[in-house]
Amino acid sequence: MGGSALVTSTHSAGRKGWLPLAVGALGVVFGDIGTSPLYAIQTVFSIDHNMVKTTPGDVYGVISLVFWSIAVVVSVKYVMFILRADNDGEGGVMALAALSRNAVRTNGKRYALVMVLGVLGASLFYGDSVITPAISVMSAIEGLSVPAPGLDHLVVPLGAVIITVLFVVQRYGTHLVGRFFGPVMVLWFAVLGVLGLGQVVRDPAILKGLSPSYAVLFFVEHPYIAFVAMGAVVLSITGAEALYADMGHFGRSPIRRAWFIVVFPCLTLNYLGQGALLLDDPAAARSPFFLLAPDWARIPLVVLATLATVIASQAVISGAYSVSRQAERLGYLPRLTVRHTSVHERGQIYVPAVNWSLFAGVIVLLVTFRSSERLATAYGLAVTGTFLITTTLFLILAESAWGWKRWQLALIGVPLAVLELTYFAANLTKVAHGGWLPLLIALVVATVMLTWQRGRTMVTERRTAMEGPLAPFIDWLHTDPVTQVPGTAVFLHPDKTTTPLALRENAMFNHVIHETVLIVSTVSANVPHIADEDRVELDHLGDPYDAITHLTLNFGFQEDQDVPAALALARAQGLIDVDPGEAYYFLSRISLQRGSAPGMTTWRKRIFLGLAHNAASPTEYFRLPEDRTVAMGATVAL
């Protein structure tokens, strides 16, 4: 799952210590996996009209599968290995793809594979982001049917209200509720552990389920049933990706400590408790989580579970914002309107287009599926697909960048491949029953991302041909000088090899040029953040005394491309003597039209033109002052 920037960044980890960060991680990183006990075991024992029985053999087998799935995929794969792959402290599938891309840059086939895997991983994440809020909130509210069966008809309306409020308040910033996340989740995990421990004490025989032999025996005795059950067992590890995605906000050590000290033990106790309850009362399979609690505690437990699922939903929504901005910075989405919701935490952002797209999808799912049990059939494919992609990218990185030997790759890769391919194959059996949904979402998102990347490349090629090289243009200015006018003109342009269209038109048609000209290129690096000393690169273009200077402004893919702020930094560093507040900013605006140019099918051209039309304004995107910004340009036909 994706993560969110809800607490302090790793830059303050050393000053504040790991404990506050570990508590914060409980509220964000583990929100999704921490609410899986609400529906995971219940879903296993409701598959295909109770195919999995509440016999001792099946119960021990399921509990063993759940425990070892968590131990292998989360504890070993993510906590011990994947967290080692940080991109300047940041994690997540897009960051891992950027790392792997750098490692295999000289290998054309692997380079293409890495980029495709990165796009697919991000696409599957969006499918996950739509399903998670719906299934999490529904599973909590459905707990009302345990103490009050007559309230079943309120589940969907209450879910819709909670989801609506959750998405509406996003614009005000996660910091308004973020401060409560950690303490609420500390209470939630404590309750998980206490509920499970009480049942385990009453029936300690369930501890036998910790042995991997019961999982093996379950497969040997009921191979088909066990295989199908794996499609639901995987629900116990949804949210594992958040461990990696949120590494940059909390740090590797706090996440690891929170996992091993609090989350893993409490989850294990709760799943053991649910197993013991099923052995004692097979009828409890209808809602094993809520039936762990005594009668008097069930309504308060529903309230606490609802808060916990809102937190889990918040994490994945904020994660969608981060993934979208990373994809945009890497060239796979158009410019997005991004609003910062905190003056202190740079990662706390709000992306309106992503927010309302997710909201529409979640509400449609809520009204269409109407229960967490039905939604569970659609849940696993996105999660297991992301697992496989993350493992593949990690192995590519380990071999290409870290020099792992083949036996090391096999030692880690083969067991994970067997396990995760089994998860994926088991979930493929649910395609016709809702599993098609995340695949459809991923297909749509991947098509959009790849179409934008391809269209952007085509437009760049055509624009470059129109602009002409910069060096001859500067020579022409020297031999046939034009009138200089006072002031500074800043021309935003992708590179320093060609002439900005706005500059060319101003000089050749208006016959004027400003006394100081800055050609500014912004570069989105494959790292999340750029240090101030590396932000600006100056090039006098061969003559430090003429009017034209080129500046390269480097930004991490997690940062706003604030051009005036970067120019102010360059002035403070003594690189330029220009006041950004007094400069005029010129944009080379390209008007796009659909034509007959080869390179992309007609329907993809329509998608690209639609995306370009709805892209964020360059003025807002680069934080330019509207009253000092001028747009000039030309038309490009695709």
Share of the chain above pLDDT 70, in %: 90
pLDDT of residue 396: 92
| Highest mean pLDDT of the ranges 85-89, 458-462, 554-558, 580-584 | 580-584
Q: Would 377 be classed as within a structural domain?
A: yes
| Mean pLDDT for the chain overall | 84
Q: Would 445 be classed as within a structural domain?
A: no
**pLDDT at 625 exceeding the cut of 50:** yes
CA distance 17 to 341: 25
* Residue 353 CB contacts under 8 Å (≥ 6 apart), including other chains: 336, 337, 614
Range 251-263 average pLDDT = 88
Q: How confident is the model at residue 48 (pLDDT cuts 50, 70, 90)?
A: low
- Residues 465, 370, single domain; the answer is no
pLDDT of residue 13: 44
- Residues 207, 275, single domain; the answer is yes
Q: Would 520 be classed as within a structural domain?
A: yes
pLDDT of residue 238: 84
- Residues 420, 465, single domain; the answer is no
- Residues 488, 541, single domain; the answer is yes
- Residues 409, 298, single domain; the answer is yes
Tokens coding 363: 């509400």
Helix (H) and strand (E) counts for the chain? Answer: 26, 8
Round the CA-based radius of gyration of the chain to a whole number and report it.
27
pLDDT of residue 289: 93
- Residues 62, 194, single domain; the answer is yes
pLDDT of residue 8: 35
- Residues 148, 22, single domain; the answer is yes
The contacts found for 338-343 with CB under 8 angstroms, 24 or more apart, are: 338/560, 338/616, 339/171, 340/560, 341/171, 341/172, 341/173, 341/174, 341/175, 342/173, 342/175
Contact between 427 and 234 under an 8 Å Cβ cutoff? The reply is yes
**pLDDT at 274 exceeding the cut of 90:** yes
pLDDT of residue 85: 84
pLDDT of residue 411: 93
pLDDT of residue 259: 93
Q: What three-state secondary structure class fits 29?
A: coil
**pLDDT at 566 exceeding the cut of 90:** yes
pLDDT of residue 348: 62
**pLDDT at 215 exceeding the cut of 90:** yes
pLDDT of residue 293: 92
**pLDDT at 68 exceeding the cut of 60:** yes
Q: Would 38 be classed as within a structural domain?
A: yes
Q: How confident is the model at residue 545 (pLDDT cuts 50, 70, 90)?
A: low
CA distance 250 to 18: 8
Range 550-578 average pLDDT = 89
Q: Are strands 512-524 and 483-492 parallel, antiparallel or unpaired?
A: parallel
Domain boundary residue among 434, 453, 479?
434
pLDDT of residue 6: 34
Of residues 44 and 479, the one with the higher pLDDT is 44
DSSP-assigned letters across all residues of 448-469: HHHHHHHHHHHHHHHHHHHH-B
Q: Are strands 349-350 and 339-340 parallel, antiparallel or unpaired?
A: antiparallel
pLDDT of residue 133: 86
Q: How confident is the model at residue 394 (pLDDT cuts 50, 70, 90)?
A: very high
Of 303, 241, 221, 242, nearest in space to 52 by CA: 221
| CATH number of residue 82's parent domain | 1.20.1740.10
Give the max Cα distance, the chain: 94
Of 228, 258, 609, 265, nearest in space to 456 by CA: 609
- Residues 494, 356, single domain; the answer is no
Domain boundary residue among 434, 453, 482?
434
Q: Would 450 be classed as within a structural domain?
A: no
- Residues 420, 564, single domain; the answer is no
Range 249-270 average pLDDT = 88
Of residues 216 and 320, the one with the higher pLDDT is 216
**pLDDT at 4 exceeding the cut of 60:** no
> Picking from 279-288, 355-364, 480-489, which range would have the lowest pLDDT averaged per residue?
480-489
pLDDT of residue 10: 39
Q: Would 5 be classed as within a structural domain?
A: no
Whole-prediction pTM: 0.78
- Residues 384, 480, single domain; the answer is no
CA distance 575 to 566: 11
Q: Which domain holds residue 20?
A: 10-434
- Residues 427, 559, single domain; the answer is no
CA distance 451 to 448: 5
Into how many domains does the chain fold? Answer: 2
Q: Would 456 be classed as within a structural domain?
A: no
Range 382-392 average pLDDT = 90
CA of 323: how far to CAs of 155, 330, 352, in Å? Answer: 31, 11, 14
Q: What three-state secondary structure class fits 331?
A: coil
Report pLDDT digits (tens) over 91-126: 778 788 888 888 887 766 788 888 888 888 888 888
Of residues 11 and 612, the one with the higher pLDDT is 612
Q: What angle do CA 466, 560, 318 make, to 5 degrees?
A: 120
Share of the chain above pLDDT 90, in %: 31
pLDDT of residue 147: 72
Contact between 462 and 600 under an 8 Å Cβ cutoff? The reply is no
Of residues 188 and 143, the one with the higher pLDDT is 188
